[in-house]
Chain A
């Protein structure tokens, strides 16, 4: 099922040692922590900072941390952030410009901050989300320099899913709870049974092998491997949600004039939360900042959202003034036009937008409703045809 042979088993101390090894390499190690009643990605110094014994209960528009008796550390689902917070930060300085008294202009590019990250606990959906952002931000004709540098320097420790949440639907988006293929340095699978609390480790890169060599670990044993596979396989069958099993590209393409957009627009607050929490949403805007002398200016990049009415502004007014058109932009971009633009879907099924929508709008439910509406339309057209 995987081409990365298991190479070791770590316990909690081993995990701590791994964090120390990565920190000693000069990396900023980021992992899940508990803060303000949610799982928050933050810098960690040891395994003690990780959310041992915490799980989460999620539903559309609801999120709650719950203690877990089994002490599991990776049994929570996605929190409000994703790794884009670090790779594609909310605000970034692009360049600064000076104007001399005689009007001459000079522009200096800002060197991107040189942080070298290690991410601990990257879920398979988020691993896919990172490769999607790679294509958008670093894959085209004009790679984003800052993103590319942060990304190439990052060390990724994936954590397979053994406890999917009620808003998760990665399987129906062509992913799943297992880490397959490449794109990671190390992959962990948490195992909790009579054999103890431990993590099966697979190596995905040279850098991963070096890091693992530097920490005490046991060789992988058949029992741990079996338990790990069983837990991940079981997770695959316990997805909380699913997209309708239809070609979503065609569905979106043929639903641009659907009535359902009015229905969802009546509920949507156009707050943009969904775009902020989404691990693939990449849109930004720029800001011009000047100092008091007026001879120094800076250009800043910051996250933007297609739900903001100014997003599509043109002389003469915004292109997408109605909530209907803005929700449609978000959903059709995620599920359909992203393919034309960047060669894949823009949704990995992480469920964040469902969980963190203040009014509980659920994109799987919206897609299903669009599917029903279209099916009804097609039936109706067919009837008319046969009557003729």
Chain B
């Protein structure tokens, strides 16, 4: 459904950090949305307040999980919901990460802040099918320990010796912090990948995306194999409202995941 929100029941709510909540959403009636691919997003409607784009942070059989940071009217209303409330959902929209295109390659996923949410389903899928890929790396950046999403899960990954190499870093350490300190790009040094045979996935604030893509390029990862997810204002998600333009890219239709080969020159222009 793309025109009208489909009612969904909040069947789970988890507080991730002081300002971020994960909602598990299950169709309230007969009508359900088409399946979402990792990297795609839904327009999530908070009754009487408005609608915002939110990526899927987990895709279940019937249910979807969205991890939402409260930054304004709609996101705050969504973060205040309790199990039993209902929201409207439209989607799935946009391009996904397209993990299948990385078969046989090393994978490097780099996240900053809330950017871990859209990449979680990709990491879970890659980990579950790790034999199809080379080495798997997840590099997680966060401002502080308190802001780290899915902290227990990230720590378990970081301490495991499974197929996924996971490292986490914070800008400012606080008591109890178990990982690195510094920018997420510094973690690239400890990641294991052969640049010529690597696909990278990057999601986070735009400054972080630029810095990470620059370092990956510098190491020899092909620009079209650096897949980044960009954020622009979105009102419709169906290609009609014009808000999500970045040059010739309509982010809701041609993105939010695009290759660095296309993104680089657009992001170089200030205020494009």
Contact = CB atoms under 8 A, between A and B. Distances in A.
A107 B48 contact: no
The A interface, classified by DSSP as helix, strand, loop or mixed, is mixed
Given A95-B4, A294-B48, A325-B272, A312 B248 contact: no
B235 A286 contact: yes
A311 B241 CA distance: 10
B182 interface: no
Contacts of B88: 97, 105, 107
A288 B50 contact: yes
Interface in B246-261: 247-250, 253
Contacts of B87: 105
B7 to A, nearest CB: 4
Nearest to B75: A315
Given A105-B28, A320-B271, A282 B51 contact: no
B197 interface: no
B245 interface: yes
Interface residues of A, number: 51
Interface string A332-355: 110011011100000000000000
A107 B5 contact: yes
Interface in A312-333: 312-315, 319-322, 324-325, 329, 332-333
A195 interface: no
Contact of A322 (B231, B232, B271): B271
Contacts of A104: 7, 28, 86
B86 A304 contact: no
B84 A319 contact: no
B248 A340 contact: yes
B242 interface: yes
Interface string A188-220: 000000000000000000000000000000000
Contacts of A136: 239-240
A256 interface: yes
A99 interface: yes
B243 A105 contact: no
B238 A140 contact: yes
B160 interface: no
A332 B248 CA distance: 9
Q: Dominant SS at the B interface?
A: loop
A137 interface: yes
B248 A286 contact: no
A314 B231 contact: yes
A313 B232 CA distance: 8
A105 B88 CA distance: 8
Contacts of B239: 136, 140-142
B161 interface: no
19 contacts: A95-B4, A103-B85, A105-B88, A108-B4, A109-B4, A136-B239, A142-B238, A142-B239, A283-B243, A284-B235, A290-B48, A294-B48, A304-B241, A312-B232, A314-B233, A319-B272, A320-B271, A325-B272, A337-B245
Interface of A: 94-95, 97, 99, 103-109, 136-137, 140-142, 144-145, 256-257, 282-286, 288, 290, 294, 297, 299, 304, 306, 311-315, 319-322, 324-325, 329, 332-333, 336-337, 339-341
Ranked 3 nearest A-B pairs via Cβ: A340-B248, A283-B242, A325-B271
